[in-house]
A and B are shown apart, each in its own frame.
Chain A
Amino acid sequence: MTRSLKVLRIGPGCTVQDAGRPGWLEYGVSRGGAADRLALAEGAALLAQSHTLAALEMVGMGGEFEATEDLRIALTGAPMKASIDGSAIAWNASHVLPAGARLSIGAALRGTYGYLHVGGGLVVPEQLGARSVHLSAGIGAACQSGDTLPVGEDGQFQTGLGLKVANRFEGGQVRMVASLQTHLFAEKDRARFEQTQFRRGTRGNRMGVPLDSDGAAFSPDGGRTVLSEVISPGDIQITGDGTPYLLLAECQTTGGYPRIGTVIPCDLPLLAQAPAGAPLCFQFVTLEAALEAEEKARSHQSGLRTACKPLIRDPHTIADLLSYQLISGAIAGEEDVL
């Protein structure tokens, strides 16, 4: 049998995702790719492999999986309860999934998007130069129970690494920069936008999320209509009824609603991960501050591999402690990251 991951059961809307599909904007296809790019990089670091490989993005809940051969796996993004054949395994960590064993991933404890990475990556066929599913463009489709996902070759063996990850799964404050239509909004409305405590709306998806608040609606000065213009992920458009709507990886490529600003790329993982109802607030920063933040985020990402450390387990939590070969110093490494 070919090397693959069998999907025995899976929640709705789970898709294979990679870094996305650049280069098709002028044909109306946005870049797409993983909603939380940082989680993709974290999984790649834990498996010491390329961050361009595809992983499974799970929305709010996971599923049950079985490997046809021993696979290395890593779990990142929104923490979910996970186990292999009933033994709990750590999130933000890499493990061995033995052939035939049952990997169970439950509901998200915090956040929205969890990621299951495999050594060698998921190698579903490329379309338009990438493997990521783009639901709104009709490229690929959500994963279904009964699917078999092909897995690439993996020449490596190391697992049992964990990564300490800052909490980006419960909302918080994000930074935005002024963009091409910010000036259409009166200064007092921009200030009010910064002071408003928003909540992530419930109707969100990979295209974007509504930002709910209790205050008055936001609208551009004089209700001016604007010509449809290029959209980039992170743009906050003010829709017809005055509700701000934040655009994410799978947004449309152009839009006619005025935009009050653009969230900087390194803060998008926090926004994508915010679960429904999570508090969100926004702060305008200068272009210089935004660039500095991006540079910092990039150096954080390039340091992820060295930040991966062997997992240390508490023997009290190991139900089958005596079945381990303990004298030679081998660490199976599962519970409790770091």
Chain B
Amino acid sequence: MLISFGERLNEPANRAALALRAELGRLTWDGIEEVSTSLVSTYIRFDPLHLDHRTLRTKLEGLLASKDWYGAPLPENRRLWRIPAVFGSELAPQLEQAASAAGLSPEDAIAQLAAARVRVQTIGFAPGQPYLGELPEAWDIPRQSQLTNRIPEGALAVAIRQMVLFSVATPTGWMHVGQTAVQLFQPQSANPFVLRPGDEVAFTPATAEEITNLRADPMGGAKAEVLK
């Protein structure tokens, strides 16, 4: 069952989805097998032979009516991550193209991206891979119709006021404006996923050489603090 808080991505809808997911995690209703979120929705996987659709729907309607989810506080134990990134350079060749699409000089584009504090709106498509937002309005630029053949792991790319920090190398239509050394999915590690939905992220400017050196560390120099 899917509870959708909007047809378009916006901050209150994303907040509502995250808050409802956190509440369902606390309530642990019998019959619910898994809860997750997408950009604006909360998803419930349940066993319909154990918990029927009508009962679940009635319980959810009660829960939804119990407060204003669009204004609900974000989940607890969120973290602020600071991740070193180089903007532009041979490691991130599309910075100038993206800046020009956003109507900014390369310097202003870097300043805006480095100053942005974005939220992990959802994780999806590939393991541990976040959609980050929301960027200032200038960044409402379309994805490229011509796909980039291969964007590397750790790449930071922009489009439609969002950033994606790639956890795998893949073809993409997003524009490659930054490069980090973080490995977001570490299947062998005790904590295989670096980011959680709801976390906040800021990118600390670094040089291409610093990023290359940080590759020895799977965390790529990323540091977290718990948000109060």
Contact = CB atoms under 8 A, between A and B. Distances in A.
B2 interface: yes
Contacts of B8: 227
Contact of A180 (B2, B33, B128, B129): B2
Contact of B38 (A127, A137, A254): A254
B185 A227 contact: no
Interface string B26-52: 000000011111111101010011000
A302 B103 CA distance: 63
A227 B9 contact: yes
A29 B38 CA distance: 13
Interface stretch (B66-74, B106-114, B186-194, B206-214): B186-194
A22 B125 contact: no
A27 B128 contact: yes
Interface string B94-134: 00000000000000000000000000001111111100000
A230 B43 contact: yes
Interface in A210-249: 227-230, 232
B197 interface: yes
B168 A138 contact: yes
Interface residues on B, range: 35 or more
B79 interface: no
A230 B48 CA distance: 18
A235 to B, nearest CB: 12
Contact of B125 (A25, A26, A138, A253): A253
A232 B128 CA distance: 18
Residue of A27, A254, A294 most packed against chain B (CB within 10 A)? A27
Nearest to B44: A230
A155 interface: no
Nearest to B53: A287
A25 B127 contact: no
A229 B2 contact: yes
- B contact patch SS: loop
A200 to B, nearest CB: 25
Contacts of A294: 48-49
B36 A230 contact: yes
Interface in A22-55: 22-29
A23 B192 CA distance: 13
Contact of B124 (A252, A291, A295): A252
B129 A227 contact: no
Contacts of B192: 27, 128
B21 interface: yes
Nearest to A255: B125
Interface string B176-187: 000000000101
B34 A254 contact: no
A161 B39 CA distance: 50
A227 B126 contact: no
Nearest to B130: A28
A23 B124 contact: no
B7 interface: yes
A286 to B, nearest CB: 12
B36 A137 contact: no
Interface string B147-188: 000000000000000000001100000000000000001011
A128 B40 CA distance: 27
17 contacts: A22-B33, A22-B45, A26-B21, A26-B36, A26-B37, A28-B123, A28-B124, A28-B125, A28-B127, A228-B125, A229-B2, A230-B2, A253-B36, A254-B125, A294-B49, A295-B49, A298-B49
Interface of B: 2, 4, 7-9, 21, 33-41, 43, 45, 48-49, 53, 122-129, 167-168, 185, 187-188, 192-193, 196-197
Interface of A: 22-29, 127-128, 137-139, 180, 227-230, 232, 252-255, 287, 291, 294-295, 298
Q: Which 9 pairs from chain A and chain B are nearest by CB?
A: A254-B124, A26-B36, A25-B36, A230-B43, A27-B193, A28-B123, A28-B127, A253-B124, A137-B127
